[in-house]
Amino acid sequence: MSLNLLGTVDEAVRAILARGRPAPLVGLVLGSGWGEFADSVENAAAIPYPEIPGFPSPAVPGHAGRLILGQIDHTPVAVLQGRFHFYEGHDLTTTTLPVRVLARLGVQKLILTAATGGIRSDLQPGDFLCISDHLNLMGANPLRGPHCEELGARFPDMSQVYSPHLRKMALQAAERLGLIMSEGVYAALPGPSYETPAEIRMLRTLGADVVGMSTVPEAIVARQMGLEVLGLALVSNAAAGVTDQPIDHAEVLAAGNAAAGRMNGLLNLIVKNMMTRSAISEL
């Protein structure tokens, strides 16, 4: 990490602010299957990633590659419709750049979403999981390298990466909507191959409930920059060895399409209440 990163972040911020939209207070990163939520944004202005300095174009189906600026129930939001991944060949400094940009734009609370494989036996495709903690098994950390104090502490605390307050709010929102949601631990592996049954047994032993290939580096960077983080996972498939069925990305996207209405309702309700001090008591 270096001053060059700070310069890239601030150049991206200037390009976004030049669009003349209000500074966002809530940011969302939409993972595989979650992208339809971007259609819920009111007074929306879309910026393709290639028009933002430092942002490459995603190359994975289900990731549109646009920053959406607008409002959800009068709350200014910035929605990253798709992400770029470590497994695409980007380093973690690049994959987490959008989170740094959101923080410098003024975002206070960040919702990270992802499609995941279910490890825990009670998790079924279509269930939601509120991330309570994570295992970073990607073999790298996005904070590695030269340090820039303006982007956060050198050694940020990670004892509560995922806000207990926001988790409580999300669980109550899901209950209000009649959705199945539990809490659990997200294990991040580098991908792009899916895990072997032996690896899933290892992850279960380590305490993981779901597994994916993103989210964790973004959460680490968000906490370094002082953002309050909520992580939401859709269980799109059973992890390898949990059933005897093979896994493919089409299955992941199909699960997202099937759950789109429920995902949109959940995110809308969470954002609606997120900036209200009495949000939990009102749910």
Given the residues 115, 222, 225, 259, select the one marked as catalytic: 115
- Find the catalytic residue in 36, 88, 183, 251: 88
Percent of the chain with pLDDT over 90: 71
Tell me, yes or no, if 18 is annotated catalytic.
Answer: no
71 φ/ψ angles, rounded to the nearest 5 degrees: -140, 150
32 has catalytic annotation = yes
pLDDT of residue 247: 67
> Is 165 one of the catalytic residues?
no
Write down the catalytic residue from 163, 236, 237, 273.
237
Question: At 133, is the pLDDT very low, low, confident or very high (cuts 50, 70, 90)?
Answer: very high
What is the reported pLDDT for 258?
A: 74
Q: What sign for the dihedral angle of Cα 69, 75, 80, 86?
A: positive
Please pick, among 12, 85, 114, 273, the residue that the annotation labels catalytic: 85
Catalytic residue among 87, 132, 251, 254: 87
Mean pLDDT throughout 130-151? 95
Two structure tokens written together for 134: 């994570």
Give per-residue pLDDT as tens, 205-237: 999 999 999 999 999 999 999 999 999 999 988
Instruction: State the Cα–Cα distance between residues 33 and 267, nearest whole angstrom.
Output: 13
Distance (Å, whole) CA 255 – CA 127 = 10
The answer to whether residue 273 scores a pLDDT higher than 90 is: no
Our answer to whether residue 249 is catalytic in this structure is: yes
Q: Is 88 assigned a catalytic role?
A: yes
Choosing from 78, 169, 213, 274, which is the catalytic residue?
A: 213
pLDDT on residue 251: 65
Per the annotation, the verdict on 115 as an active-site residue is: yes
* CB contact at 8 A, 235 and 124: yes
Whether 218 is catalytic is no
The answer to whether residue 268 scores a pLDDT higher than 80 is: yes
Q: What is the CATH number of domain 3-282?
A: 3.40.50.1580
What tokens appear for 261 in the block? 């209405």
Q: Is 15 a catalytic residue?
A: no
Active-site position among 40, 163, 214, 273: 214
What pLDDT is stored for residue 252 in this prediction? 65
Note if 240 is an active site residue. no
219 is catalytic: no
Per-residue pLDDT of 164-216, as tens digits, reads 999 999 999 999 999 989 999 999 999 999 999 999 999 999 999 999 999 99
